[in-house]
């Protein structure tokens, strides 16, 4: 088998600002999202949005097709009546009342194509608004939210009672429930907010999300105080399964957990897919691994879909891949925008050579993500300090290490080296390992792990350089935040500045190009 072209599995999802060329497609999208329920946008209104406040108009494209959009403007909300209508707050949809010096971002519409719901499209649009509010140092985001399921209950309860039941999770409303889950709170109910909204009986909830980083000042200049990245490392239980679907269910569960925690990265362990051998009859380790490579395309397709659907970047553990007759241990990065990258394991353990005949990779890489540059060093690779120094020099701020070890000694080698790499390179590291056993799979008998997230050692970081760690040898996760802004400051003003103080006049670490 030749090298798999992962580009055919990539499903590009992109969040960007709306452009004039998108208007026709957005008008079509609105007809699909709200058929016969509300008056659609006029072209002139959307053109006005882009002329007046292009930064506040966002869309999400999937494979080049617009599947979601949102519109907004800035206002000084104190100048408006709490009982305002949609026409009043938007100047009848033209946003000519947009105030560049306003203190609040006001959301006037969000729509998601029905066929692409449950893919976090709405959440991406809301996050874009939040980032815009933070960048512009705005006090809050305010919006008038529809309650489209209210018409189903209007005969037995008032709008206020309906909203209370939704807040208490006794009733599901696709808009209000979503807004509550995204950190918005109900300020009041507005009657006749959108007279043509028949599903909501013209009512709307006035909702607000407060920017906790808001700095009251006259210039409203934005000061960057933090750049947090949330990581979920998954301590994955290796247990007998009967099909690829069983594997997919277990993997999706943990992706969902990471997404629910608002994680930017979900990290699975090395050799994750050897669990599939529990329902394969081949007993010879070397032949079993070649059989495992037959699942490569299913594995890539599964994780690509999960990354997009759950809006989280996934380090998909590692998987054995056959290329031109050789078997490689490969870790894939599945970005939440649908793109894919991969890192081959550079250093092969004696065990991997003996039982499986694994071939070593030739290049260590750094990957761009929406949370900065990261690298992946698979298990044994973290024990070779040269690799970490190379990726640090190339800009990596986080090193992810999927690992699989069978005893405490092997685990501690990975753990101690990962913490050492964090200190000597002034970076963050995260390790994710397997637990449990696959008693019927040769050379995958037992597992030992205590997954964790680590930092440099200085006053700006946790006392022991540990953001979080799992309990050993149980199926669980650890969730933690690392701050790239703190890391940047630490490299300049820490108690020690290891990167700055290197004697580059005496030594250096260089990656050779084996292709030459």
Q: Which residues are catalytic?
A: 270, 345, 379
Cα separation, 465 vs 364, in Å, equals 26
Cα separation, 286 vs 283, in Å, equals 9
Helix (H) or strand (E) holding 478: strand 476-483
Contacts of 241 (CB under 8 A, 6+ apart): 247, 250, 275, 276, 278, 279
Cα 190 from chain centroid?
A: 35
In sequence order, what E strands does 325-377 have? 326-334, 340-344, 358-359, 367-369, 372-376
Buried b (16+ CB within 10 A) or exposed e, 76-112: ebeeeeeebbbeebbeebbbebbeeebbbbbbbbbbb
Cα separation, 377 vs 400, in Å, equals 6
237, 432 contact by CB (below 8 A): no
What DSSP string describes 65-114?
A: EEEEEEEEEEE-GGGS-TT--HHHHHTTTT-TT--TT-SEEEEEEEEE-G
Smallest CA-to-CA distance from 228 within 180, 261, 181, 183 is with 261
For the chain, give the longest Cα–Cα distance: 82
Cα separation, 50 vs 19, in Å, equals 7
Cα separation, 49 vs 93, in Å, equals 9
Structure tokens at 150: 């209210």
Query: Which residue has tokens 């040769």?
Result: 442
Quick one: angle between helices 296-309 and 244-260, nearest 10?
30
What DSSP state is assigned to residue 410? Answer: H
442, 280 contact by CB (below 8 A): no
Smallest CA-to-CA distance from 448 within 411, 413, 400, 403 is with 411
Structure tokens at 60: 């999400």
φ/ψ (deg, to 5) at 236: -90, 130
Cα 216 from chain centroid?
A: 31
């Amino acid at each position: 088998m030749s090298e798999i072209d992962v580009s055919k599995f990539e499903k590009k999802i992109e969040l960007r600002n709306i452009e004039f060329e998108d208007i026709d497609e957005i008008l079509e999208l609105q007809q699909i999202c709200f058929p016969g329920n509300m008056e659609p946008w006029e072209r002139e209104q959307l053109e006005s949005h882009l002329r007046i406040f292009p930064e506040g108009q966002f869309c999400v494209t999937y494979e080049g097709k617009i599947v979601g959009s949102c519109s907004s403007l800035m206002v000084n909300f104190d100048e408006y009546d709490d009982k305002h209508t949609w026409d009043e707050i938007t100047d009848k949809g033209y946003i000519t009342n947009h105030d560049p010096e306003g203190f609040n971002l006001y959301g006037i519409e969000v729509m998601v194509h029905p066929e692409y719901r449950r893919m976090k499209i709405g959440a991406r649009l809301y996050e874009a608004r939040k980032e815009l509010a933070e960048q512009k140092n705005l006090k809050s985001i305010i919006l008038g939210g529809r309650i489209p399921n209210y018409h189903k209950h209007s005969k037995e309860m008032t709008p206020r009672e309906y909203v209370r039941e939704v807040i208490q999770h006794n009733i599901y409303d696709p808009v209000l429930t979503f807004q509550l889950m995204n950190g918005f709170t109900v300020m009041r109910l507005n009657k006749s907010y959108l007279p043509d909204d028949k599903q909501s009986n013209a009512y709307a909830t006035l909702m607000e999300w407060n920017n906790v980083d808001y700095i009251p000042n006259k210039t409203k200049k934005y000061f960057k105080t933090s750049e947090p990245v949330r990581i979920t490392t998954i301590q994955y239980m290796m247990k007998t399964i009967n099909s690829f679907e069983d594997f997919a269910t277990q993997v999706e569960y943990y992706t969902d957990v990471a997404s629910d925690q608002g994680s930017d990265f979900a990290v699975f362990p090395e050799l994750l897919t050897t669990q599939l051998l529990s329902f394969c009859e081949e007993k010879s380790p070397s032949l079993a691994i070649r059989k495992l490579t037959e699942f490569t395309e299913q594995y890539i397709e599964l994780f690509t879909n999960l990354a997009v659907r759950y809006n989280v970047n996934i380090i998909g553990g590692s998987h054995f891949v056959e290329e031109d007759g050789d078997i490689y241990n490969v870790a894939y990065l599945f970005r939440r925008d649908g793109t894919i990258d991969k890192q081959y394991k550079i250093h092969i353990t004696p065990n991997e050579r003996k039982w499986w005949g694994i071939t070593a990779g030739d290049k260590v890489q750094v990957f761009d993500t929406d949370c900065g540059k990261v690298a992946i060093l698979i298990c044994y690779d973290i024990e070779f300090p040269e690799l970490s120094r190379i990726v640090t020099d190339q800009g990596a701020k986080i090193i992810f290490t999927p690992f699989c070890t069978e005893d405490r000694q092997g685990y501690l080698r990975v753990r101690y080296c990962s913490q050492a790499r964090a200190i000597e390179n002034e970076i963050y590291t995260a390790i994710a390992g397997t637990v449990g056993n696959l008693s019927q799979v040769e050379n995958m008998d037992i597992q030992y792990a205590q997954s964790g997230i680590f930092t440099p050692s200085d006053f700006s970081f946790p006392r022991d350089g540990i953001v979080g760690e799992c309990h050993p040898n149980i199926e669980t996760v650890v969730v933690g935040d690392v701050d790239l802004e703190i890391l940047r400051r630490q490299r300049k003003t820490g108690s020690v500045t290891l990167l700055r103080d290197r004697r580059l006049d005496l030594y250096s670490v260089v990656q050779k190009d084996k292709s030459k």
